[in-house]
Amino acid sequence: MILDKLSNAPIYYPLGSAFEKSLKYLLSTDLMALPDGKHDLGDKITIVITPYHTKNPDEGILEAHRKNIDIQFMIRGSEKIGFAFLSNDTRNTASTEYDEKRDIQFFGKSCEYFLLSEGMFAIFFPDDLHMPGLFYGESALVRKAVIKIPVI
């Protein structure tokens, strides 16, 4: 997992052309003006823009993806995100079968937390369990972009 401010995005360009393309897109696009929903960035990279109200952490569940890497960028607002590592973590076992079509599998709830604030991004690799969309304090409306980069 990587957590940083978008202003530091160039540090992560060496991770590969898909990361560079995705992070440059976040830097150069007016994401508040971009319509909600899924958009194609080319090279099998997509971005989903979603406004939603953050939820109670008790409602959260850890998830992981096998086919895609997530770059989650907070456009407006803040949310708490739970995280843990899939490998070598005996606290969380799968609570569902892997859904290949949706590229998602759910796990337990045992994790640590961090705050994703406006202008920050988190990169979740296939070994990174994550529980996004949680409130701290009380529920609030946020607007977030999630870029999906295919695992090669």
Taking every pair of C-alpha atoms in the chain, what is the biggest distance, in angstroms?
Answer: 43
Q: What is the pLDDT along the chain (152 residues), one digit of tens a residue?
A: 999 999 999 999 999 999 999 999 999 999 999 999 999 999 999 999 999 999 999 999 999 999 999 999 999 999 999 999 988 777 788 899 999 999 999 998 899 999 999 999 999 999 999 999 999 999 999 999 999 999 97
Please give the C-alpha separations between residue 125 and each of 22, 64, 65, 67, 91, in angstroms, as whole numbers.
Answer: 15, 8, 8, 10, 19
Contact present, 1 and 49 (Cβ < 8 Å): no
Q: What is the pLDDT of residue 102?
A: 95
Select from 23, 94, 22, 103 the least CA-distant residue to 62: 94
In the chain, how many domains are there? 1
Q: Structure pTM?
A: 0.95
What's the CATH number where 142 sits? 2.60.120.370
Nearest to 132 by CA among 41, 50, 67: 50
Q: Which domain holds residue 52?
A: 2-150
Specify the pLDDT at position 53.
Answer: 98
Q: In sequence order, which residues have a C-beta less than 8 Å from that of residue 115 and are 6 or more positions away?
A: 78, 79, 80, 81, 136
